[in-house]
């Protein structure tokens, strides 16, 4: 199934695009999608979304169809859903 991923701020700059149309398996959740994207973009993506221990960075916001969602949410993503990954604009 296909879902749209939108990238903002540092993440958009790091991977060189504002959005993707990604093909994923049915039944996948947010954590699974981020792990899938990590395999595609590796270092550029991981340096912003995950810390050195591989844990999700809480400063990154995840938006599913206009509503914030937790990284560890078990909610399954559906065909044509839109996920926006909002990386921090500045450190601090």
Q: Which phi and psi (to 5°) does residue 64 adopt?
A: -110, 115
Structural domain tally of the chain?
1
Domain range for 13: 2-86
pLDDT in the model for residue 76: 95
Return the number of other C-beta atoms located less than 10 Å from residue 33's C-beta. Answer: 20
- Look at residue 15 and give its three-state secondary structure: helix
Q: Residues near 86 by Cβ (< 8 Å), separated by ≥ 6? A: 8, 9, 60, 61, 62, 63
**What's the pLDDT tens digit per position in 28-41?**
999 999 999 999 98
0.85 surpassed by pTM: yes
Does any domain span residue 91? no
pLDDT in the model for residue 70: 94
Q: What is the CATH number of the domain that holds 40?
A: 3.10.20.30
- Look at residue 10 and give its three-state secondary structure: helix
Nearest to 47 by CA among 56, 19, 64: 56
**What's the pLDDT tens digit per position in 46-92?**
999 999 898 999 899 999 999 999 999 999 999 999 999 998 776 55
The DSSP code sequence of 19-52 is: EEEEE--TT-BHHHHHHHHHHHHHHHHHHHHB-T
pLDDT in the model for residue 91: 52
Does any domain span residue 44? yes
Does any domain span residue 48? yes
Does any domain span residue 41? yes
pLDDT in the model for residue 38: 92
pLDDT in the model for residue 49: 94
pLDDT in the model for residue 24: 94
């Amino acid at each position: 199934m296909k879902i749209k991923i939108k990238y903002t701020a540092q993440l958009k700059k790091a991977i060189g695009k504002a959005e993707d149309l990604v093909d994923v398996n049915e039944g996948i959740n947010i954590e699974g999608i981020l792990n899938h994207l990590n395999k595609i973009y590796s270092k550029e993506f991981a340096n912003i979304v995950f810390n050195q221990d591989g844990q999700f960075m809480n400063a990154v916001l995840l938006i599913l169809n206009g509503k914030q969602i937790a990284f560890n949410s078990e909610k399954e993503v559906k065909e044509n859903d839109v996920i926006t990954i909002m990386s921090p604009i500045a450190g601090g």
